[in-house]
Structure 1
Amino acid sequence: MPLEVDTVLVPVDGTEASVSATEYAVAVAERYDAAVHALYVLGETVARGIDAGDVAEDDVADETSAFVADIEALAPPSVPIDSSIAYGFSTSRKLHHPGSVILDAAEDVDADFLVVPREGMRGDAADVLEKSAEYVLLYASQPVLSV
């Protein structure tokens, strides 16, 4: 039975590793005539800063929008890219972490394929994407490419 892919989900965080993962996601989407959904996952430092009022949400929104615009430019016109932003951590919900956020987003956007970077998060708890990639590989019901 051939693989059918309509939506490829790629979590990103503004790092080079997430740009690379997006390039792979675009290649998969192009191969299967699919769309890409980029999920910008905010790290723990940013999430806590926003909650504490130390980081302006508008600044974060501007930064994430600029990054998403940059990765949209990577795709040919035949590969539509849309995006969303999610807190990778919560100060009030114990089971809210990047891996669960990625899998929840995959379900929300009805993703058929996931491409997850293994590095990144700008030094915010340095191995967050690595650990979330491991979590996603263990628990995803879709095919996953970890790059």
Structure 2
Amino acid sequence: MATLDIDLVLAPVDGSDESQQAVEHAIAIAEEYDATVHAVYVLGEDVARGIETGAVDESVVATDTESFTETVFDRADERGVSVTTSIAYGFSTKVKTTHPGSVILDTAEEVDADFLVVPREPVSGDPGEVLEKAAEYVLLYASQPVLSV
């Protein structure tokens, strides 16, 4: 029987309830394998376009994402799990192939993730929930094991 060697669990988040659940699972897996969690906050298309055009204040986005990632740090700290974070644009007006799924896989390669936990498509479909279409793409193309929650 093969065992998994997990040092880093990647959890893409977007502030949705589904991404909070994914973080909980990522923390549990990291705790079990004595691993670290990396939470990448993936910014939605409206936010990315707004920042590029100057219609959205980057400091407001930073505050919102920081607030969410603080809850990630708090939850992980309660379980004795180390966390790192980053922010990524889930869309680009200049690069056609940039979308949430590709951003997640690129981040997984950059941080050398051993395991991915991605949220499933949300039921609500709120415009701010950018990971809703990424799960299937990540499941199809990831080279690491993936848990879709």
TM (norm. structure 2) is 0.92
Q: Tell me, which stretches of 5 or more residues in structure 2 are unaligned? A: none
Per the TM alignment, residue 71 of structure 1 is displaced from its structure 2 partner at its CA by 1.4
- What's 1:124 paired with? 127
Distance in 2 of aligned mates of 1:108 and 1:90 = 19
| Amino acid across the alignment from 1:49 | G
Give CA-to-partner distance per residue, 1:64-95, whole Å, 9 cap, x none: 11110011111135210110000000001000
Contact 2:9/2:37, CA 8 A, preserved across alignment:
yes
Pairwise CA RMSD of aligned residues? 1.6
| Amino acid across the alignment from 1:64 | T
Contact 2:8/2:113, CA 8 A, preserved across alignment:
yes
Distance in 1 of aligned mates of 2:126 and 2:46 = 9
Distance in 2 of aligned mates of 1:130 and 1:136 = 11
Contact 2:14/2:41, CA 8 A, preserved across alignment:
yes
- What's 2:10 paired with? 9
- What's 2:66 paired with? 65
Q: Any idea what SS the aligned residue of 1:123 has? A: coil
Distance in 2 of aligned mates of 1:132 and 1:16 = 16
Distance in 1 of aligned mates of 2:146 and 2:79 = 24
Distance in 2 of aligned mates of 1:125 and 1:82 = 23
Q: Which of structure 1's runs of 4+ aligned residues deviate more than 6 A? A: none
Contact 1:15/1:122, CA 8 A, preserved across alignment:
no
Contact 1:30/1:78, CA 8 A, preserved across alignment:
yes
Q: 1:26 to 1:125 in 2, by over 3 A?
A: closer
Distance in 2 of aligned mates of 1:125 and 1:53 = 18
- What's 1:42 paired with? 43
Q: Tell me, which stretches of 5 or more residues in structure 1 are unaligned? A: none
Per the TM alignment, residue 56 of structure 1 is displaced from its structure 2 partner at its CA by 0.4
Identity %: 61
TM (norm. structure 1) is 0.94
Contact 2:40/2:88, CA 8 A, preserved across alignment:
yes
